[in-house]
């Protein structure tokens, strides 16, 4: 099924401006009608979900652009794409570890205040 940009924006929850921006960055490559009207299909929708996942996990735009360019080159770039994702995953794992360490410190501080309040008979 084909979707014009407005329909695709509604389906994905993004704005038309954002879709055009992603196209300008080289992240999306919508097909065009003979009248040069953009249209998107289910493959574009799945690819956009991946772009949004990479964005949500903090992948820099330049890395997303590299990943998209490699994808456009086809199966010969599987190893390069896998390497890029592995590097991003390592970075993400480091961020998760730091978040968990910070979370633990917050839990300790909350417990400290809770203990002080209990000692003072307050709640």
Q: Where are the domains of the chain?
A: 3-119
**3-state class percentages of the chain: helix first, strand second, coil last, to nearest 5:** 75, 5, 20
What is the C-alpha to C-alpha distance for residues 71 and 65, in angstroms, rounded to an integer?
Answer: 10
Is 123's pLDDT higher than 60?
no
Q: Residue 44's pLDDT is what?
A: 98
Q: Read off the pLDDT of residues 22-56 as tens digits, 9 standing for 90 and up.
A: 999 999 999 999 999 999 999 999 999 999 999 99
CB 88 within 8 A of CB 57: yes
We find that the CATH architecture of domain 3-119 is: Orthogonal Bundle (1.10)
Q: What HEC string does 42-73 produce?
A: HHHHHHHHHHHHHHHCCCCHHHHHHHHHHHHC
Q: Residue 11's pLDDT is what?
A: 96
Question: In which element (H, E) is residue 38 found?
Answer: strand 38-40
pLDDT band, very low/low/confident/very high, at 121 (cuts 50, 70, 90): confident
Q: Read off the pLDDT of residues 1-16 as tens digits, 9 standing for 90 and up.
A: 999 999 999 999 999 9
Q: Read off the pLDDT of residues 70-111 as tens digits, 9 standing for 90 and up.
A: 999 999 999 999 999 999 999 999 999 999 999 999 999 999
How many C-beta atoms lie closer than 10 Å to residue 103's C-beta?
A: 10
Q: Residue 66's pLDDT is what?
A: 98
């Amino acid at each position: 099924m084909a979707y014009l940009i407005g329909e695709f924006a509604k389906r994905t929850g993004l704005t038309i401006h954002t879709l055009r921006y992603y196209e300008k960055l080289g992240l999306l490559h919508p097909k065009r009608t003979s009248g040069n009207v953009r249209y998107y299909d289910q493959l574009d929708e799945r690819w956009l979900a991946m772009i949004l996942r990479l964005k949500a996990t903090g992948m820099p735009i330049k890395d997303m652009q590299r990943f998209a360019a490699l994808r456009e080159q086809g199966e010969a770039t599987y190893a390069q794409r896998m390497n890029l994702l592995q590097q991003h995953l390592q970075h993400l794992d480091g961020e998760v570890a730091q978040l968990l360490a910070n979370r633990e410190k917050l839990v300790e501080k909350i417990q400290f205040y809770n203990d002080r309040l209990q000692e003072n008979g307050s709640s």
